[in-house]
C-alpha cells in the first residue's frame, strides 16, 4: 500500500527544526499558508496549492494563519519511484484535486500513477526562494530576508560584501538561478504571503516588504500568482 495516511490540517504547524521523514509527504492547502524550509531555500504553499516533500528530504515546516488542508503520507518506494526528487509546489488543479478526493486508501495504484504524472507536468509558480551557499552571498540574502524593504542596489551590496559588481552579479545568478532583482522580488512576495496569512493589513504588508504603493504590490502579486491578494485570502 503506497498511500499510508491522510490527516486533516486543522491545527497550526510549528516544526522549524529541520529533519527528514521516511515517507514522502504531500500537503494541500485550502486556507492559510504553509512554509517549508529546506537546505536549499524556502518554499511557500498558499491556499489553492499543493506541496510535495520527498522521502528523506531534510526540512522544517511552519504554518501561517488559520491553516486548513490535508497531509498525505506515501511509501518511500512510491515517493522515490514516481514523484520528483526535490520539493515542488504547484497550483491545485481540478484534476489533482479530484484524484486526491476520490483516491481510496487501498487499491489506489491507478490514481497514484495519474496523479504523479499530472503533478510532474505542472509548471512551477514563483513560490521558491533559493538561498546561496557562498558565505558572503548568504549573509547578504539573510539581511534582506530580515529587512525586505531594504532597497540597496547591487553597487551598494558589492561594496558591502567586498565582491566586485560583475562578479557578484555572475555568482548570484549561478548560485540561485535568479538575477538579484528577480530574487528580491520573489523574496518580497513569499514574505508577504506569510504576513497576509497571519492577518496583517495589505497596505502594511506592502510597505513592510518594500513597495511604495499598494497598487504596485498588487500588480507584482497578480503577475506571479494569477490572483490578487484579496481574492487569495478572501
Segments making up each domain of the chain, as ranges: 3-121, 130-232
pLDDT tens for residues 18-36? 888 899 999 999 999 999 9
Answer yes or no: are the C-beta atoms of 86 and 120 closer than 8 Å.
Answer: no
| Domain 3-121 fold | Jelly Rolls (2.60.120)
pLDDT tens for residues 147-181? 999 999 999 999 999 999 999 999 999 999 999 99
Q: What is the arithmetic mean of pLDDT over 210-216? A: 95
Predicted TM-score (pTM) of this structure = 0.92
Beta bridge partners of 5: 73
Which are the contacts of 172, defined by CB distance < 8 A and separation ≥ 6? 132, 137, 178, 179, 180, 183
Which CATH code of 3.40.50.1370, 2.40.30.10, 3.40.50.720, 1.10.10.60 fits the domain covering 130-232?
1.10.10.60
* 59-74 and 49-53 beta bridge pairing: unpaired
Amino acid at each position: 500500500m503506497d498511500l499510508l495516511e491522510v490527516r486533516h490540517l486543522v491545527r497550526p504547524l510549528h516544526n522549524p527544526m529541520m529533519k527528514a521523514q521516511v515517507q514522502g509527504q504531500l500537503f494541500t492547502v485550502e486556507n492559510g499558508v504553509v512554509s517549508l524550509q529546506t537546505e536549499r531555500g524556502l518554499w511557500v504553499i498558499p491556499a489553492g496549492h499543493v506541496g510535495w516533500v520527498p522521502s528523506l528530504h531534510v526540512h522544517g515546516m511552519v504554518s501561517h494563519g488559520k491553516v486548513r488542508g490535508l497531509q498525505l503520507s506515501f511509501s518511500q518506494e512510491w515517493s522515490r519511484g514516481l514523484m520528483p526528487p526535490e520539493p515542488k509546489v504547484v497550483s491545485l488543479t481540478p484534476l489533482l484535486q479530484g484524484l486526491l478526493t476520490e483516491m481510496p486508501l487501498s487499491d489506489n495504484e491507478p490514481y497514484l500513477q495519474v496523479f504523479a504524472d499530472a503533478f510532474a507536468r505542472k509548471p512551477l509558480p514563483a513560490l521558491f526562494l533559493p538561498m546561496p551557499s557562498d558565505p558572503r552571498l548568504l549573509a547578504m540574502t539573510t539581511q534582506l530576508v530580515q529587512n525586505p524593504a531594504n532597497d540597496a542596489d547591487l553597487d551598494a551590496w558589492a561594496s558591502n560584501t567586498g565582491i566586485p559588481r560583475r562578479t557578484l552579479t555572475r555568482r548570484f545568478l549561478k548560485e540561485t538561478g535568479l538575477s538579484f532583482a528577480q530574487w528580491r522580488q520573489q523574496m518580497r512576495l513569499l514574505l508577504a504571503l506569510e504576513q497576509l496569512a497571519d492577518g496583517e493589513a495589505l497596505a502594511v504588508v506592502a510597505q513592510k516588504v518594500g513597495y511604495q504603493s499598494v497598487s504596485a504590490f498588487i500588480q507584482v502579486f497578480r503577475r506571479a500568482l494569477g490572483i490578487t491578494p484579496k481574492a487569495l485570502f478572501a
